[in-house]
Chain A
Amino acid sequence: MKSDEAAFTETGENMKARVLIADDASFMRQMIREIIEPEGYEVVGEATDGDEAVAQYEALNPDLVTMDIVMPKRSGIDAVKGIIANRPDACVVMCSALGQETLVMEALQAGAKDFIVKPFKPDNVLNTLQKVLEKRG
């Protein structure tokens, strides 16, 4: 399977879509990993700040990135801009907290494809990732 293609089974389920998780909180990275790995997603990398998120995206070329909004060094929004500048078709899903609606909108306008709100509901996380990857085709 090429690293720049998401693989789907005949039923349309994601098979080993490669995901980069960007969040400065180990707690959150672990939670996302625990939600998505049992469903067949492969976590290919983790980034703990915005600079690392951009660098890791270039190095790993994942199918999808989950991106926290508030991170050290470079914010999640600036990291989205950095990724989209080189990869306009990148699939970035923002992870936001309540009260960050304006920032989420800014991220969507910068090229993020969707968002999930903390506290994470596993079904919501999985449905959103599925939706984003299906749109990508």
Chain B
Amino acid sequence: MALDLAKYRTLFLEEATEHLAEMSSALLELEKDLGAAEPIDIAFRMAHSIKSMAASLGYESITELAHALEDRMEGVRSAGRVLGGADELKSLFHGLEGLETMVAAVRETGEAPPSQSELVERVRARTESAGAGPVPVPHSPDAISESDLEDAASDRPKKKSLR
């Protein structure tokens, strides 16, 4: 069956615009209080939602950047605060602006713009004060695989032990 992608593109634009506004407000709140729990949660969820919608429509560049922001915010959520302070917030704002530009491109052209690898890398890179090394790229070798999940869902004996 085929879904009406034009309808979902309209929905995407409406919801992504709202989510980006919420994310912007959340990051502004974090400027005042780096450990404010609700804005941290909001920014994380908004990045997650934009990622999911973009992936559903095949907007890979938007998915990639939103995923980087989501992972970054997950790190903030785990830490309970924006450890990198103003520098890290700046990186998050850059990511947000990147998403805003990309969503605007979809609005104007109906298509997602090309990937912005440098911006994705910048969002993933940690500032010195937040700790060394970039935010881990997903699907590390130790991650649970889809077949592990399928075994768990079907109550089948595990083919290999979970790592």
Contacts and interface: CB of A to CB of B under 8 A. Distances in A.
Interface of A: 24-28, 30-31, 34-35, 38, 70-72, 97-99, 101-102, 104-105, 108-109, 113-115, 117-120, 122
Interface string B127-163: 0000000000011000111101100110000000010
Contacts of B153: 108, 113-115
Contact of B53 (A28, A101, A115): A28
Interface stretch (B7-15, B28-36, B80-88, B108-116): B7-15
Interface of B: 1, 3-4, 8, 11-12, 15, 41, 44-45, 48-49, 51-53, 55-58, 67, 71, 138-139, 143-146, 148-149, 152-153, 162
Nearest to A101: B144
The 5 closest A-B pairs by CB, nearest first: A99-B138, A101-B144, A119-B56, A114-B153, A119-B55
Q: Is the interface of B mostly helix, strand, loop or mixed?
A: helix
B60 to A, nearest CB: 11
Given A105-B152, A108-B149, A115-B153, A24 B52 contact: no
A132 B140 CA distance: 30
